[in-house]
Amino acid sequence: MNRNRSIEQIERGKRIKYIRENELHMNKTQLAKEIGVSGQFLGLVEDGKGNLVYKSIKKLRDLSGHSADYILFGFDDSIINETKKCLAKYSEAQIMESIEVIKSITLFIKNL
């Protein structure tokens, strides 16, 4: 196994364990049941010796509120969560209209 891949897998396992223990406050058996794997396999994943399949990552994402990018790669998803909170009170149409306004402003500034 490639050394970088091994390090990534270990770091991913640490993130998943952190989410389970510190955010979801679950034991391995509880989280494993929620995401559709065995507790033993989840232990291997947390130790950096296994990987979750898409279906399990999606369930963990939905359960934890973290992005798949955070779970898999450690990308900071706090801005995504903050943005979701801010936008929750607006309709999709309002958000899309605002995005178009922002695009227009950026084009205007670029052409100055």
Give yes or no for a contact between 36 and 25, defined as CB atoms under 8 angstroms apart.
no
**What span, in angstroms and rounded, lies between the C-alpha atoms of 23 and 10?**
19
Give alpha helix (H) positions in the chain.
3-18, 28-35, 39-46, 54-64, 68-73, 78-87, 92-110
Give the model confidence (pLDDT) of 9-57 as tens digits.
999 999 999 999 999 999 999 999 999 999 999 999 999 999 999 999 9
Q: What is the pTM of this model?
A: 0.72
Spans of all domains in the chain: 1-75, 77-112
- Name the residue type at position 45: V
Give yes or no for a contact between 67 and 23, defined as CB atoms under 8 angstroms apart.
no
- Name the residue type at position 40: Q
Give the model confidence (pLDDT) of 61-93 as tens digits.
999 999 999 999 999 888 887 888 899 999 999
- What pLDDT does residue 82 have? 85
- Percent of the residues in the chain that have a pLDDT greater than 70, as a whole number: 98
- Name the residue type at position 28: K
What is 1-75's CATH topology? 434 Repressor (Amino-terminal Domain) (1.10.260)
